[in-house]
Amino acid sequence: MGSCDARHRRVLVLVRHGESRYNAEQIFTGLLDVDLSARGHAQIAAAARLMADAGLRPRLVLTSPLLRAVRTAEGIRAALCPEAPLRESWRLAERDYGCLTGVSKRECRERWGDEAFFTWRRTLEGRPPAATAAQRASWRGLDGAGLGPLVPGGSESLADVVERVRPLWGRLLPSLVAGEGPIAVVAHGNSLRALVLLACGLGADEVERLNIPAAQPLVLEFDGRGEPLERVGHYLDPRTAEVEAGRVADEGGT
Catalytic residue among 8, 19, 88, 94: 94
State what percent of residues in the chain have pLDDT above 90: 88
In the three-class reduction of DSSP (H, G, I as helix; E, B as strand; rest coil), residue 162 is classed as helix
Alpha helices in 54-97 (DSSP H): 67-80
What is the reported pLDDT for 251?
Answer: 76
pLDDT digits (tens, 9 = 90+) for 67-90: 999 999 999 999 999 999 999 999
CA atoms of 179 and 14, how far apart (whole Å): 17
At 140 the pLDDT is 77
**Statement: residue 2 has pLDDT above 80:** no
Closest by alpha carbon to 13, among 64, 45, 50? 50
**The 60-63 sheet, strands edge to edge:** 86-88, 60-63, 183-187, 11-16, 218-221, 234-235
- pLDDT, one tens digit per residue, over 161-201 is 999 999 999 999 999 999 999 999 999 999 999 999 999 99
Is residue 17 annotated as part of the catalytic site, yes or no? yes
In the predicted model, what is the mean pLDDT of residues 16-28?
Answer: 95
- The candidate with the shortest Cα–Cα distance to 184, out of 60, 88, 22, 87, is 60
Rounded Cα–Cα distance for residues 66 and 182 (Å): 23
**Catalytic annotation present for 41:** no
Instruction: Give the pLDDT confidence of 110-128 residue by residue, as tens digits.
Output: 999 999 999 998 899 999 9
